[in-house]
């Protein structure tokens, strides 16, 4: 036993101490730098994040628990189901559109969080309605938010036959689950996962963060014309087949029909990717042009009254010279953009 302890003291213990030290260091230096900086191990942006937080309103909306009995007891005017755009992605819940709906709309808002709605918001929303889990609540309005990046994958595994709440995505769309939530939060937050990211992305050189130069200053930071975005923005949502397109349409149609059957006012928010929004302003862009957000708007035109599309709301602001439409160091939009999005949702609430 003594020999075993001695052996551990100069083998396992030093490695464990190094691991703990790295985890603590990486957590400390990257904790306030935006999901793109944290994932890419880029130690910039903390001051920028603080400046954005100063523009946000106090957080006041409640968080729903992942518990069926609590769902039945909820007393809220607006129930929101979404991915990281609805869960404080960016600077935290003070700056997301949910908080602005509560502040500016005077509604009691609850967002379903965390596990139910990070796998597949479409599936979760449909199952909640179809299985009667909000029948005994006072929910009058249901807001379902989907990010552009994983939208096609999610709709292609969507089912109307679930007999219990929440069916995890199949392996074919596994990328849409993971720590990425869906909308788009590619950052990993646990200290040990930061060590993993450091090894893969810094030491092995597989940087998941792409950087491009913009043709004008678009951010209020030290690199105002630099665009940081997640690599999946230019790997997902291209070459959508006719069958996949129909699956997207069918998923939305099924959710809308189920909400009408239940007498719930449904609003669907489509969040665009950062690359999609800024692609036309990139100097010498070598990546393919992304049209998915525009395509979804066209495919769903017959049901337009149920939708809020983020891209046509935010793109004109960039064209008008508004800075920080998306966050410089993050995959999510800014508090000011959240307020714009919230205003459009409020118009559709009953």
> Which pLDDT tens digit goes with each residue over 120-158?
999 999 999 999 888 878 789 999 999 999 999 999 999
Nearest to 85 by CA among 271, 337, 278: 271
Question: Residue 254: its pLDDT value, please?
Answer: 98
Question: Residue 125: its pLDDT value, please?
Answer: 93
Question: Residue 181: its pLDDT value, please?
Answer: 37
Question: Residue 25: its pLDDT value, please?
Answer: 55
Largest CA-CA distance found in the chain, in angstroms, rounded: 75
Strands, sheet with 109-112, edge to edge from the N-terminal-most edge strand: 63-64, 109-112, 78-81, 141-147, 265-271, 307-309
Answer with the residue of higher pLDDT: 29 or 302: 302
Q: Which token pair is 242?
A: 């006719």
Question: Residue 255: its pLDDT value, please?
Answer: 98
Band the pLDDT of 18: cuts 50, 70, 90: low
Q: pTM value?
A: 0.84
> Which pLDDT tens digit goes with each residue over 85-125?
998 889 988 999 999 999 999 888 888 865 555 579 999 99
Question: Residue 207: its pLDDT value, please?
Answer: 79
* Least confident residue range of 85-99, 175-189, 329-343: 175-189
Number of neighbouring beta carbons within 10 Å of residue 104: 15
The pairing of beta strand 265-271 with beta strand 141-147? parallel
Q: Which token pair is 205?
A: 């050189």
Answer with the residue of higher pLDDT: 230 or 187: 230
Instruction: Identify the top-confidence range among 7-16, 57-66, 97-106, 187-196.
Output: 97-106
Quick one: CA dihedral 321, 150, 35, 93, positive or negative?
positive
Q: Which token pair is 1?
A: 């036993």
> Which pLDDT tens digit goes with each residue over 253-307?
999 999 999 999 999 999 999 999 999 999 999 999 999 999 999 999 999 999 9
Average pLDDT taken over every residue of the chain: 83
């Amino acid at each position: 036993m003594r020999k075993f302890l001695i052996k551990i003291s100069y083998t396992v213990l030093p490695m464990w101490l190094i691991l703990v030290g790295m985890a603590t260091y990486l957590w400390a230096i990257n904790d306030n730098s935006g999901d793109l900086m944290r994932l890419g191990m880029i130690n910039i942006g903390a001051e920028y994040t603080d400046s954005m937080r100063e523009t946000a309103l106090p957080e006041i909306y409640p968080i729903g628990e992942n518990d069926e009995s609590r769902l039945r007891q909820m007393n809220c005017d607006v129930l929101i189901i979404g991915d990281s755009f609805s869960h404080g992605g960016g600077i935290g819940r003070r700056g997301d559109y949910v908080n602005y709906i509560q502040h500016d709309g005077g509604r009691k808002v609850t967002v379903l969080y965390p596990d139910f709605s990070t796998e597949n918001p479409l599936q979760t929303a449909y199952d909640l309605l179809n299985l009667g889990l909000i029948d005994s609540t006072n929910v009058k309005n249901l807001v379902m938010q989907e990010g552009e990046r994983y939208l096609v994958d999610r709709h292609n595994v969507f089912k109307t036959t679930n007999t219990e709440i929440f069916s995890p995505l199949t392996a074919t769309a596994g990328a849409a689950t993971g720590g990425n939530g869906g909308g788009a939060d590619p950052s990993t937050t646990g200290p040990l996962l930061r060590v993993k990211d450091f090894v893969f992305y810094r030491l092995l050189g597989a940087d998941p963060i792409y950087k491009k130069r913009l043709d004008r200053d678009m951010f209020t930071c030290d690199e105002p014309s630099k665009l940081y975005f997640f690599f999946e923005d230019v790997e997902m949502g291209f070459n959508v087949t006719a069958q996949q397109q129909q699956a997207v349409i069918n998923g939305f149609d099924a959710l809308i029909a189920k909400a009408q059957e239940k007498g719930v006012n449904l609003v669907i928010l489509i969040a665009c990717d950062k690359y999609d929004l800024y692609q036309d302003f990139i100097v010498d862009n070598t990546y393919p042009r992304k049209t998915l957000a525009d395509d979804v708007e066209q495919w769903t035109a017959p049901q337009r009254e149920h939708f809020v599309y983020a891209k046509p709301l935010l793109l004109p602001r960039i064209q008008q010279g508004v800075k920080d439409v998306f966050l410089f160091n993050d995959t999510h939009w800014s508090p000011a953009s959240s307020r714009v999005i919230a205003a459009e949702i409020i118009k559709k609430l009953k």
